[in-house]
């Protein structure tokens, strides 16, 4: 018989783990969208070198597991920096995970942004140039605002996936929500109950967010 009575006293510690999870998610989303937008514009560029470099980046990160990226940034990057600079440059687990999430998610956000930009009628670019606007002005003021409106549901859906993927940071010792639940359960001898509770929380948040995304998609559909 499961007993969930020990969860209430452990809520402060679980909340600290949830705050870390949300921090990782938000920073990964912001950085990933920023880098992904740059990569998308590179892929759409008429410069073949830029387009191929961005394409190689996207194909590489979409072909390897996120767990490998997290581990690589945590273990290999300090070694590379020491080899380049000759000095020990420690990188904390939190920083390495944020960078890993940003770079990994950028590959997926890149394709979302690229599809959003390509969904805008090409005539709008020509009309803007006829008015004397530069390529940068056209993208910033006309194309990207419309594209982001169309792709907002996809960006949010990918963000939900990132929220779930943050649980992988246990591999580098970060105490996120899942790891906090696991540790709290081990302390009181109720591992199953705490893991079930964590699963319920992940389900409620992810399901609710997905429902809101669908509602938003219907509302903003042009």
Q: Which of 199, 97, 213 is nearest to 157 (CA)?
A: 213
pLDDT for 153: 87
Q: Give percent of the chain above pLDDT 70.
A: 95
**CATH tag for 11-220 (out of 3.30.70.20, 2.60.40.1930, 1.20.1630.10, 1.10.3720.10):** 1.10.3720.10
Q: What is the pLDDT of residues 68-99, one digit of tens each?
A: 999 988 887 777 767 777 676 667 889 889 99
Report how far residue 209's alpha carbon sits from residue 192's, in angstroms, rounded to the nearest whole number: 26
Q: What is the pLDDT of residues 50-59, one digit of tens each?
A: 999 999 999 9
Q: Which of 13, 27, 20, 22 is nearest to 163 (CA)?
A: 22
pLDDT for 195: 92
Residues of the chain with pLDDT under 70: 81, 86, 88-90, 220-222
pTM higher than 0.75: yes
pLDDT for 222: 53
Residue 15's contacts (CB-CB under 8 Å, 6 or more residues apart) are none
Report how far residue 6's alpha carbon sits from residue 175's, in angstroms, rounded to the nearest whole number: 19
pLDDT for 196: 92
Could you please report the per-residue DSSP string of the chain?
Answer: ----TTTTTTHHHHHHHHHHHHHHHHHHHHHHHHHHHHHHHHHTSS-HHHHHHHHHHHHHHTSS-HHHHHHHHHHHHHHHHHHHHSS-----HHHHHHHHHHHHHHHHHHHHHHHHHHTS-HHHHHHHHHTT--HHHHIIIIIHHHHHHHHHHHHHHHHHHHHHHGGGGGGGT---HHHHHHHHHHHHT-HHHHHHHHHHHHHHHHHHHHHHHHHHHHHH--
Residue 84's contacts (CB-CB under 8 Å, 6 or more residues apart) are none
Q: Are 155 and 33 in contact (CB under 8 A)?
A: yes
Q: Are 193 and 2 in contact (CB under 8 A)?
A: yes
* Residue listed under structure tokens 């399901």: 207
Q: Are 181 and 198 in contact (CB under 8 A)?
A: yes
User: Where do the domains of the chain lie?
Assistant: 11-220
CA angle 32, 221, 115 (to 5 degrees): 40
pLDDT for 78: 73
Residue 158's contacts (CB-CB under 8 Å, 6 or more residues apart) are 105, 108, 109, 112
pLDDT for 88: 66
């Amino acid at each position: 018989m499961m007993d969930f009575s020990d969860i209430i006293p452990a809520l402060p510690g679980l909340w600290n783990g949830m705050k870390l999870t949300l921090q990782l998610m938000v920073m990964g989303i912001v950085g990933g969208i920023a880098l992904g937008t740059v990569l998308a514009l590179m892929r759409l560029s008429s410069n073949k070198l830029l387009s191929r470099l961005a394409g190689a980046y996207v194909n590489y990160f979409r072909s390897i597991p996120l767990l490998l990226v997290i581990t690589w940034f945590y273990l290999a990057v300090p070694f590379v920096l020491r080899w380049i600079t000759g000095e020990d440059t420690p990188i904390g687990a939190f920083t390495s995970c944020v960078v890993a999430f940003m770079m990994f998610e950028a590959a997926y956000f890149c394709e979302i942004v690229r599809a959003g930009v390509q969904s805008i009628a090409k005539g709008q670019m020509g009309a803007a140039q006829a008015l004397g606007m530069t390529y940068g002005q056209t993208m910033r003021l006309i194309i990207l605002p419309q594209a982001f409106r169309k792709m907002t549901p996809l960006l949010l859906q990918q963000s939900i996936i990132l929220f779930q993927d943050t649980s992988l940071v246990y591999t580098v010792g970060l105490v996120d929500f899942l790891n906090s639940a696991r540790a709290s359960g081990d302390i009181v001898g109720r591992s199953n109950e705490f893991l079930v509770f964590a699963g319920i929380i992940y389900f409620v948040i992810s399901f609710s967010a997905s429902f809101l995304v669908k509602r938003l998609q219907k509302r903003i559909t042009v």
